[in-house]
Structure formats: C-alpha cells, structure tokens
Amino acid sequence: MAKEELNTEEPEIIYIPDDEGNEEEFEVIMKFEVESGQFQGNKYMMVVPVETDEADEETDEVYAFRYEEDGDDLQLFTIDNEDEWNEVEETFNTLVAELEEDEA
C-alpha cells in the first residue's frame, strides 16, 4: 500500500507561508509514499499547526501536501485533484488505523 515514516523522536517542524507571506509553523506528523495506483511514487506529508495559543489546541486540523525533495530544499504542492485527495485520505486513515492496532 504505502511506505511510511513516523516521527517517534523529535518532531519535524516546517514553516509554510500563509496568504499574506507570514511564516506559519507546522509539525510533520506523518510522511508516506503511494506505492501503487494512479499516484504511484508521489510522496505526501501530513502536518498540523503548531499552536502558540493553548485554547486552540482542540481545533487542530491535519493538512496534507504532496512534496518533492531536492537536496535540502522541500517543495510543497496543494492537492487539488479530488481523486488524488481521496487516495491520500484513504492511505492516511489506513496508516492511522494500523498504528492504533499496533498500540493496542
């Protein structure tokens, strides 16, 4: 299905500019590569905002990006294709379910 990398040590933090160009801090919670199907070989990362306001912790959303690495450079791409989004969402949900089973 997918190769996965899970962060079990220090969290990986990335900075993504918002619409006004302000850098927002995100924690990478999962990276995976789709190994079959239409999007085979694409790499994806799931990130959550690093909140500085404790009151917002309950509203954490998970964001998904397709990414490409070129040495130390990281390029993020939004997922606009509905089929691609469905594949990423299904893979993410499957990996999370597998993690929960392993922890039980």
What DSSP string describes the chain? -EEEEE--SSPEEEEEE-TTS-EEEEEEEEEEEE-SSTTTT-EEEEEEE--SSGGGGGG---EEEEEEEETTEEEEE----HHHHHHHHHHHHHHHHHHHHHH-
Task: Return the pLDDT at 44.
Answer: 96
Give residue-wise pLDDT tens across range 41-98.
999 999 999 975 655 555 568 899 999 998 888 899 999 999 999 999 988 888 889 8
| pLDDT per residue as tens digits for the range 4-30 | 555 456 889 999 988 898 999 999 999
pLDDT of residue 5: 52
Report residue 22 as tokens. Answer: 């302000």
Q: Would the pLDDT of 2 be above 90?
A: no
Q: What is the reported pTM? A: 0.77
* Distance of alpha carbon 29 from alpha carbon 68, whole angstroms: 17
Residue 84 sits at the vertex; the CA angle it makes with 83 and 85, to the nearest 5 degrees, is: 90
pLDDT value of residue 46: 95
Position 57 scores a pLDDT of 52
HSE, side-chain direction, 13 A CA sphere, residue 91 = 27
What's the confidence (pLDDT) of residue 7? 46
Q: What confidence score (pLDDT) does residue 48 get?
A: 93
Phi (first) and psi of residue 52, to 5 degrees: -100, -20
